[in-house]
Amino acid sequence: MTFCSQFKARPWLVALILLMVLPVLVQAATLEITGPAGATVVINDRIMGFLPLNEPLTLAPGRYDIKSELTGYLPFETSIVLDEVTDWKRLQIRPVIMSKTTAWTSNLLFAGLGQHYMGKSFKGYFFNAAEAGGLLVAIGGELQRTNYRKDYLLLKGKYDSAINPNDLEYYQRLADEAYANMEDMEKRRNTGLLVAGGAIVLSILDAVFLFPGAELGPGEVPLQTGSVEFDGPGFSGNQNLLQTVHAGYKLEF
């Protein structure tokens, strides 16, 4: 009797071998993620898709850093540890809604802070640079204006005490130059203050009028169908169907 015929004659032997082999092949824990519809799910810097996921994720045991973002909400970040292949854990993503008041009042402290709060980093750095640059120009202008003012007062005093016509003409010319320089630095200071103040005002207006509205209920998210294979480090070698079709509305604040 051949080896193959032995398997055919003894189906219970095949079943026993499968029961012994399958636990070795399927080395994956289960993570079920729920949360607001339309929120992105990123695990270990890898995009998994949008909520709701079509089915739980199967992952190798280990530690996972999970991030989620949704328009109008603060980014959600957490970590979860899957200890065993038999683990089945559930994670509910509960992002905190952004505060419009916090967004615009933050810019009173420093222009651009509100934009960073809203997740608009490019605008945030732009307003940061505008206010910082304006303040530096204003401070530099004021310091030089103060020095020129001291020179002007000193030269004016010498002019007032001079008797010789040549000295009078000499000190008057120097005093006029110092005064002109003082006025130039005063204009530079005012320009710097104007730029810094303008950055604050514009950042506040941007936060007030372009504040991202929170998506309540099923949100508008891109249509994504198909399978995503989790074959990287820490991911099992199976496929999960991530399918999201949403129609929704926005609540503007």
> pLDDT tens, 110-120?
999 999 998 89
Q: Is there a domain that residue 252 lies in?
A: no
Helix ranges (H only) for the chain are 3-9, 11-25, 100-109, 113-117, 121-161, 165-209
Confidence of residue 173 (pLDDT cuts 50, 70, 90): very high
Do 223 and 186 sit in the same domain of this protein?
no
Do 90 and 124 sit in the same domain of this protein?
no
Do 56 and 157 sit in the same domain of this protein?
no
> pLDDT tens, 190-247?
999 999 999 999 999 999 999 887 655 444 444 333 333 444 444 444 444 333 333 3
Say how far apart CA 249 and CA 34 lie, in whole Å: 20
Q: Is there a domain that residue 248 lies in?
A: no
DSSP string, 125-145: HHHHHHHHHHHHHHHHHHHHH
Average pLDDT, integer, range 93-113: 92
Do 80 and 111 sit in the same domain of this protein?
no
pLDDT at res. 195:
97
Do 140 and 160 sit in the same domain of this protein?
yes
Range of the domain at 75: 3-97+215-241
- CA nearest neighbour of 91 among 52, 44, 119: 52
Strand, helix or coil at 77?
A: strand
Say how far apart CA 207 and CA 118 lie, in whole Å: 8
Do 129 and 171 sit in the same domain of this protein?
yes
Do 139 and 153 sit in the same domain of this protein?
yes
Count of domains forming the chain: 2
Q: Is there a domain that residue 75 lies in?
A: yes
Do 104 and 199 sit in the same domain of this protein?
yes
pLDDT at res. 64:
93
| SS3 assignment for 81-119 | EECCCCCEEEEECCCCECCHHHHHHHHHHCCCHHHHHCC
pLDDT at res. 86:
85
Q: Is there a domain that residue 246 lies in?
A: no
